[in-house]
Amino acid sequence: MLNFILHQNNLIVFLFVVFIQIIGINFLLFFFKEFSKKNNLFLNLSYSWFFGNVVFSFLVFFIFIFKKMNFLNLNIFLGILVLISICFIFLFIDYIKKIKIKKTNLAYLVFTLIFFTPLIIESLTSFLIAWDALAIWFLKAKVLYFNQNLLSFLKSENFYYSSQAYPLGIPLIINIYYRIVNQVNDQAIQFYFVWFFINMFFLFFGFLINFFEKNFSKFLLFLISITLMISTAFIIYSHNGYIDFQLGYIFLVIFSLFYLFIENKKEISSFYPKLILLGLGYSLMIKNEVVPFSLISIFILLTIFKLNFGFLNFFRKYFLYFLSFLPFLYWEVYRRVNLIPSFLDSNLIPKKENLLRLKVVFNYFILEYFNTEKYGLNLIIAFFLIIFFGTILFYRKKILKMMPLLLILLFQIFSYFYVFLVTPFPYIVHLESSLERIFLHFIPLIYFLAIVFVFEERKN
C-alpha cells in the first residue's frame, strides 16, 4: 500500500491537488478573509478547492495564450509549491489566532478521507475507457502537451468527434500535469477528478453542520451527506474522465454563494458578488452548458442590485470582476474567427414541428428523475421536501427570498429542453446518450435547494 502511494506519478498527483488546494486557501485568506471566517472547516476546504481551480485555470490559460507552457516542469512546480506553502503557513498562523477549528471537525475530516480511500485508490488505478474522456478532454490535453498549436487539430475534419468548440479549461489542467510528470498518464490524473467529488461532500456536510448542528448530532449529518454522495451515478462519474460531475460541483458552489449572498444582501460591501463573478468566469472555461447558467446568474445579480442598491453601485464595485470573462470571450472570438464549428451555431431557432419533441423530452426527464437504480431515493425525497417545505414558505410569504435559486435551477433545466428542440442530431439518440450526464449538472442543486428549504422553514 505504501509503495503504491509513493509511486512517483501518484505522489506527484497528490502534490498537484494539494498545490491547487493551497492556492485556493491562500487566495481566500489573503483577499477574502472575512468570508473564510464565516465558514467552518469543511466549507473552507470546499471553497478553497473551487477558487484554487479558478485562480490556477486563469493563470494556465494566460500562459497558454502567450505560448509559455514549455517552461513548466517538475522542478518549477516543486519550487512554486514550496513558495505558496510558505505563504500558506504565515496566512494560516494569522487565521488560527482569530478562528478556532473544532477538534470534532478535524476528526470527521480524517474519517472522511479514510472512508473515501477505496474510491481514491480506484481513481488512481482504473483505466480510462469513457468515450468523452478519450475523444474530447484527454485528447485535447494530449494535443496541448505534444503541440501547443491547436489550430490544425481544431480545424481537422478527422477530429470532428472531439467537440472542437468546447472550451479548453480542463484539457489545459490535464496538460499541465502531463508536463510536470513529463509523460502522458491518464490514470493518476483521475485523482484530480475524484477530488471534486470529495469536495462536494465537504460542501454538503459543511452546510448541514451550519444549518442543523444545534438540532441533530454531527454523526447523523455526516450520514446524510454520505447518503447524498454514494449514488451509482455519482460514484461512476466521479473519476471516469467525463467532466459532468465536476460541472455539477461548480454549479453547486456558485449556487451556494448565491444563497449566502441572498442571506447577506443588506451588506452593500458584500463580497459574494465578487466570488460569484469569478466563479462564473471560471465555469465558462469548462463546458458550453454553462452559458445559460451564467446568463441567468448575471441577470439575477443585476436585478438584486437594481432593487436594493442600484446599477451604478453594482458596476462601480464589481466591474473589474467581469474581467474573469476574458478567457471565455477570447475563446469564442478565436473559434469563430478560425471557423471552428459548434453544432448550435446555426440552429438557435426551433422549427415549429420540433415543438412536438417537448412531450417526449419531458417523459424522458421524468423517467430519469425517478430512476432509483441510479440515484436511490435521494431525488424523490428531495422532490417532496421541496414541495412540502416550499408550500409552507409560500403560505408564510417567505418563498420570494428563494426565487433566485429556483429561477437558476429551472432556467438551467429549461436550457436542456431547448437544446433538444434545436439539435441537428436525431434528438432521441442525443437524448438517450446525454441525459444521465445532464442530470449530474443539476442534481446537486436540487439536493442543496431541499436542504435550504428545510432550514428556512425551521428558522422561521
Domain ranges for the chain: 2-333, 343-460
Write out pLDDT tens, residues 90-142. Answer: 998 888 777 778 889 999 999 999 999 999 999 998 888 888 888 899 999 99
Count of beta carbons in the 10 Å neighbourhood of residue 282: 27
Total-model pTM: 0.94
Written as one string, the DSSP assignment of 404-423 is HHHHHHHHHHHHHHHHHHH-
Q: Which residue has the cell 425551521?
A: 458
State residue 113's pLDDT score.
Answer: 95
Q: Locate 107 and state its grid cell.
A: 476528526
Amino acid (one-letter) located at 197? F
State residue 436's pLDDT score.
Answer: 93
How far is residue 209's CA from residue 207's CA, in Å, rounded to a whole number?
5
Closest CA to 294 of 302, 237, 45, 420: 302
How far is residue 33's CA from residue 36's CA, in Å, rounded to a whole number?
5
Closest CA to 28 of 190, 253, 297, 178: 253
How far is residue 277's CA from residue 264's CA, in Å, rounded to a whole number?
17
Count of beta carbons in the 10 Å neighbourhood of residue 265: 18
Phi, psi of 63 (to 5 degrees): -65, -40
Is residue 178 within 8 Å of residue 141, measured between CB atoms?
yes
State residue 315's pLDDT score.
Answer: 80
How far is residue 219's CA from residue 428's CA, in Å, rounded to a whole number?
44
Phi, psi of 212 (to 5 degrees): -125, 5
Q: Locate 28 and state its grid cell.
A: 481566500
Burial class (CB in 10 A: 0-12, 13-18, 19+), 444: buried
Counting every residue, how long is the chain?
460
Count of beta carbons in the 10 Å neighbourhood of residue 343: 16
How far is residue 407's CA from residue 362's CA, in Å, rounded to a whole number?
18
For the chain, counts of helices (H) and of strands (E): 24, 0
State residue 316's pLDDT score.
Answer: 81
Low-confidence ranges of the chain (pLDDT < 70): 1-7, 148-149, 265-269, 343-347, 460
Is residue 10 within 8 Å of residue 124, measured between CB atoms?
yes
